[in-house]
Each structure stands twice: as C-alpha cells, then as structure tokens.
Amino acid sequence: MEGAFTVNGKNRKFTFTPDERLLFTLRENGYTEVKNGCQEGECGACLILLDDKPVNSCQVLTASAIGKNIKTVKRIGDLHSPHIIQRAFVETGAVQCGFCTPGMIIATYALLRDNPDPSEEEIKNALDGNLCRCTGYVKIIEAVKLAAKRMKIGVMEYWSTGVVE
C-alpha cells in the first residue's frame, strides 16, 4: 500500500506492507538514524517524534502514520549543525558506542521543550524508555542538565526560531 507523511519537514509518498512497522519504513527509505534495537518498545533506540510526541517507531504501524508529521534526530541537528543537546552529549562523554544516542537526544529534546528546567527525577522519568548499555546513565543525565542550563539562556530565541546561538 501507499501513503504520504512528512519526515523532517518533507512530505513524501512511501510504499509499505499493511502490517509494516514505521521503524522499517523509515530505515528502508534512508532514515537510518532511526536505530533498530529490540523491536519491542523496550530500548528506545528507534525513538522518533510523531506529531511532536516521542514514540517508539517499532511500535507504530506505518499505515497509522499517514498524514502525520515525523521528526528524526537529524531534524534536531546533525554533524554540521549540532543542536545544543547533541553538543552537551559529546562534551560530557554521554556517548560511547552511540547506538542509543539518537533516541536519547529525541527524548531529551521532548523533555526540554515541555520542561526547560527539569529535576533529576524528571530527567530519569523522561528517559525511562531509553536503554544505554555503555555509559551507566550518569553522563547522560549530566548531558541533559548541561543542555538544559545552556538552553535556558537562549530558550526563547531557540524555541521561537529553531536556531541556536
């Protein structure tokens, strides 16, 4: 079957099977920044923003995303223009193998958009759907705090324009 939805600002048509999961549709169409982890909604590696809500793309049937708006981590920032959150992850050493990082960035982005000044408990809750087998989470939590601190300085500018600094 065919259906169109918007990915990272571009509306395009996709071909998929009726029981296909969004994770696979995205990856097969070049969005390999969406990682294929557990396929059970446990690890958070495949996290995307679906109509601005963080969801596990492995738990979404592609057909149900028709007409919806999807953002992957690349919409937030990339190598050439990293987002404050991505920079904070690199600077604090919150990235080791990097497999969980796209999902972590998405979860952090959604958290800081809704709650610019989260407590440690709120950070842990927001990232409860993202597993990391390398870092032990300490550095990840540090990264979120650092990003929050930096974003607070330019928060109004960032959320209104989408441009950092």
Decide: is 15 part of the binding site for other proteins (CB under 8 A). Answer: no
* Binds other proteins by CB under 8 A, chosen from 78, 125, 153, 162: 125
Contact string (CB under 8 A) for other proteins, positions 31-50, x = contact: ----------xx-x--x--x
**DSSP for 19-81, written as a single string:** T-BHHHHHHHTT-TTS----SSSSS-TTEEEETTEEEEGGGSBGGGGTT-EEE-HHHH--SSS
Residue 35's alpha-carbon distances to 39, 44, 118, 122, 130, in angstroms, are 10, 9, 26, 25, 12
Decide: is 115 part of the binding site for other proteins (CB under 8 A). Answer: no
| Token pair of 110 as six digits | 């959604």
Decide: is 19 part of the binding site for other proteins (CB under 8 A). Answer: yes
* Minimum gap (Å) between residue 119 Cβ and other proteins: 15
The size of the interface with other proteins (CB under 8 A), counted in residues, is 27
Q: Interface with other proteins by CB under 8 A: which range of 23-31, 122-130, 138-146, 149-157?
A: 122-130
Under DSSP, is residue 6 helix (H, G, I), strand (E, B) or coil? strand
Q: Could you list the residues that contact other proteins (CB under 8 A)?
A: 1, 17-19, 21, 41-42, 44, 47, 50, 53-56, 59-61, 63-64, 66, 107, 125-129, 131
